[in-house]
Each structure stands twice: as C-alpha cells, then as structure tokens.
Amino acid sequence: MNALREILALLRLYSQQFKTTFASMVQYRISLFIWMISQILEPLVYLIVWSTVSNSSGGSVGGYTARGFAAYYLVLMLVNQFTYTWIMWEYEYRVRQGLLSFALLKPVHPIHSDISDNLSSKIITLPILMFVAAGLALIFKPTAAFNWWAGLVFIPALILAFLVRFLIEWTLALAAFWTTRVNAINQVYFILMLFLAGQIAPLTLFPNWLQIVADILPFRWMLGFPVELLLGRLSHAQALLGLAAQFAWVIISLVLIRVIWRAGVRVYSAVGA
Amino acid sequence: MNTLRLIYVFFRVSVLNETAYRVNFFVQLFQSILELGTALAGLAVIFSYTQSLGGWRPNEMLALVGVYFLVGGIISLVIQPGMAALIDSVRDGTLDFTLTKPEDAQLLVSIQRVAIWSLLDLLMGTGVLITALVLLGKSVGLGEAVQFIGMLLAGAVIVYSFWLILASLSFWFVRVENLLEIFQSMYQAGRWPISLYPGWLRFALTFIVPVAFATTVPAEALTGRLGGPTLLEAIGLAILLFAIARVIWRLGLRRYSGASA
C-alpha cells in the first residue's frame, strides 16, 4: 500500500514538473532552436566528410557506402538527441550559486525532477529534429538493411541507452561538489564520447583494440549501439550482448550514484552556510 | 598611433588582471592540447582510409587545422569577450562609462576585454601551421605569404564585423547572446574544407555566417590554390561588412538611452 502511494506521488511530481518545464521551454524556444543547430551540424559534417571519403575510395569504406553513412549519421543525430543531457552544466551552476540547497530540502531525490526536465524538453526538440532529418534524408538519400527484429529490439536498446547516458552524466555532474573546474572534466568526457560512442566514425572503422576498449567502456552503449542495431548491422548474438552490457551499465551507474551522491552532499556547503 | 597605444594599454591591463589567476593558464593549456589532439586524431582516422579528402592531402589538411586554431584563437582572444561584454553593458546601462571617454567608442568596446590565455590557441595554431608547411616540403613564396596574411586579415575583419553587427542588435533586442552562439557552433564546420559541403551549406557558410573566409580561404592561399576571384571577393566582403557594421553600430548608439535616462 505504502509503495503504491509513493509511486503515485512520484507520478504526480513528474507530471507537475513536466508542465513547468514545458512552459519554460516554450518561453525560451529561440535558445532551444539555436542550441539545436550544433546538434544537427556536427553529425552532418561527419556525414559529409565520410561520404566524400567513401566516394573517393571506390564507393565503400569499411562496409559503408555514401548512402550508408547518411543512414548512420541521420539515425545517430536522432538517437543522440533522444539520449542527450545537459546536466553537467546545470549542476555546476547549481552548486556555484548555492541553488542546490532548495533541492535538498525537498522530500524527493533531486534526480526525479532532472529526469522529467530532460524528457519534457525532448518532446519539443525531437519532432523538430525528425523534420530536419527527413529533409536531410531527401538530400543525402540514406539506405540501410532494415529488418523487423532489429526494429523491435531497437526500442528497449534506445531506452536503455538513455538510462545509461543519463545516469552516467548525472554522476559525472556531481564532480561539481568537489571542483569548480568542471569544464575541463566535461571536455575529457566529450572527447571520449566523440571517439568511443561512434560519433567521429562508426566504431567498426576503428582498429580492433580500440573496438574492444569501446565494448568495455559505457560510451558505445549510450549511442553507437542502438544506431548500428537499427541499421541492421548487428547479428542476433551481438544485439543480445549489447542489451546485456546496457543493463549492466545501468546497474553499475545506479550503485555509483548512490555512493557518490552521499559523499557529495556531505562535502557540499552552500554559499552563506 | 593613438589606437595602437590604446590597444597596448588595454592588453597590459588584461595581462595584469589575468596573472592573478595563474591556474587558469594550466587549465587552458590542458584544454587546448586536448582540443588539438582531438582534431589531429580525427584526421588520422580519416586519412587511414583515404589519401586525399576532397582534393586536400593530409599535410594540407594539417595546415587548415592550423588556420582553424589560429583564427579561433583570435576570436576567443579579443572578439568574443569584447562583444559579450558589449551586450551586457547595453543591457545594464554601463555602456555610459565607455561613451563618456574621449576616444572612439567602437574601438574601446572592441578591445575592452582580452582573454589572454587564448594566446595559447593562437600559438598552437601557428605551430601546427609551420609544421604543416615543413611537411609539405615546399618553400612558401613571397606572393603566397602576402596572400596568406592578406586573407587572414580579411577573414579576421569579416568575422569581427559580423560579430559587431550581431552584438549591435542588442540596442534593439534584449536577448542576443544566443545569436553569438550560432557563430560559435557554425565555426566548427570551418575545420573542414568548405568545398566538401553541398551548395546550399557552402552558401550558408560563406555568406550567411562567413566561416569560409575565416579558415578555408587563408589555407587555400597558403597551399597555392586560391583563385583571383575569391581573393577579390574576400577583400570586398571585408570592406563592405566593416562599413555595414560601422553604420549599424552608429544607428544603435543613437537608439541607446543609458541606464537611468
């Protein structure tokens, strides 16, 4: 009974937070739009670069034709948008301004409002991005070997990718408790993401040892894996193994969050306290 | 002469200010090295699959990366900090203090803030550029050197004028910081030769947000692939944009009414 009541309360919290964020997103729609430019431009640039390479080396590079790259990067653009978070910048600001004190006073864990914040902004940005991706698809004419089972497995893979990325980046954001130079940490993180999640190139284009590193670390499972899955580039076994790895990373990051959050709150002292 | 003296004074004050925060130097050094390393590693991945990218060989691409860092360094050294401060001061009304000084206000706002650690990007860019030239194994003729410096200057003027136009919009609209973000995110596209992009994107990166003139064109000058028309276009656009920026700045100032007026 108690558990049920808690879940209901949490749902109410989510829907309320949802309305608030939605209203503020509509208010700041121009910033949202401008911020989306870089979300679109980065994969677009790599799409163009790799298509050029593919065209100039006999029509195919590492199993990708120019149109194959188009499919890869357009799906990557959408998956990236779906799993994206900006929580590291948010936390740095909260800790620096002492705003976290209010969040700590509330009777629920602050991660809940962050999750619903993140989801509600995507309800606005995703349709716009899908529209853009459709337009780009007309220009670059992507092709992929789509199949039904991969399409079905893609949905849980996408949700797990979001969870892994959200939990990992939320943990990383807690670095703000210990240092004010979060930017340098974030930069390292983004570079790892660039290479090991499949942003700079599909991971199969990398040397073998780097692919093994990417399999062990969480980055691939936040972005590259669902993309390759949807494009029909993975076998059944690879898909299952991927889901298992995603699951493992969700659990690892949940444990990490518990430990680091407790330690962090103990270190935190608001300005003026 | 007076202009140079003013630039020197402002620069000196910035150096004095910033040397109080020496750790920032190491943080910036760390970040710059990471960024350069990422750019080079990216090139390494791409050139492990091809000999030339849209007609650019590896060492020529290296030169382009050098120019990208060099110009990016100039932007974050003076242009970006000054223009961000201008927008803030229009909103807060602190532009009053600048306007009362007996010097040209446009010059003063443009050099008011110097982020000196960005000199690191500038130095690294130059280093990469020199390395690229040595690797290319060709001596740069006097003609190419003059062209390169001319195009670099034209590119800097174009970028500066573009930022000033955007920042001057703050005289009419309150929130324009976001517009500056557009340039920052579009600038990334300048790390690759503009000729790779499809026509519509090339047009946007040349005339709407003039990234092409800042990076590709100077690199073309250095690698001896610059045509006469592009050269004239760059110089023409630099003069035109500078004039437009001046006019918009003047019109904006006339609208400005200060904090308490």
Has residue B261 got a pLDDT over 50? Answer: no
Contact residues, chain A, for B196 at CB < 8 Å: 48-49, 52
Domain locations in chain A? 2-267
Residue A53 CB contacts under 8 Å (≥ 6 apart), including other chains: A61, B46, B49, B50, B53
pLDDT mean across residues, chain A:
87
Asked if A41 lies within 8 A of B189 by C-beta distance, the reply is yes
Residue A169's pLDDT band (cuts 50, 70, 90)? very high
What was the pLDDT predicted at A103? Answer: 75
CA distance B2 to chain A (A): 38
What was the pLDDT predicted at A249? Answer: 96
Residue B98's pLDDT band (cuts 50, 70, 90)? confident
What was the pLDDT predicted at A87? Answer: 86
CA distance B164 to chain A (A): 19
Has residue A247 got a pLDDT over 90? Answer: yes
What was the pLDDT predicted at A273? Answer: 45
Has residue B213 got a pLDDT over 80? Answer: yes
What was the pLDDT predicted at A271? Answer: 54
Asked if A49 lies within 8 A of B185 by C-beta distance, the reply is no
CA of A34: which chain B residue's CA is closest?
A: B182
B123-149 pLDDT tens trace: 999 999 989 888 887 667 777 788 888
Has residue A270 got a pLDDT over 70? Answer: no
Site of tokens 């910036």? B28
Contact residues, chain B, for A191 at CB < 8 Å: 34, 38
Residues 13-32 of B with CB under 8 A from A: 27, 30-31
User: ipTM of this model?
Assistant: 0.87
Domain locations in chain B? 2-255
Has residue A229 got a pLDDT over 80? Answer: yes
Has residue A100 got a pLDDT over 80? Answer: no
Asked if A181 lies within 8 A of B27 by C-beta distance, the reply is yes
Comparing B16-30, B73-87, B113-127, B236-250, which segment has the lowest mean pLDDT? B16-30
Comparing A226-230, B146-150, B170-174, B186-190, which segment has the lowest mean pLDDT? B170-174
Has residue B246 got a pLDDT over 70? Answer: yes
Interface-testing mutation among B46, B57, B194, with chain A (most A C-beta atoms within 10 A): B46
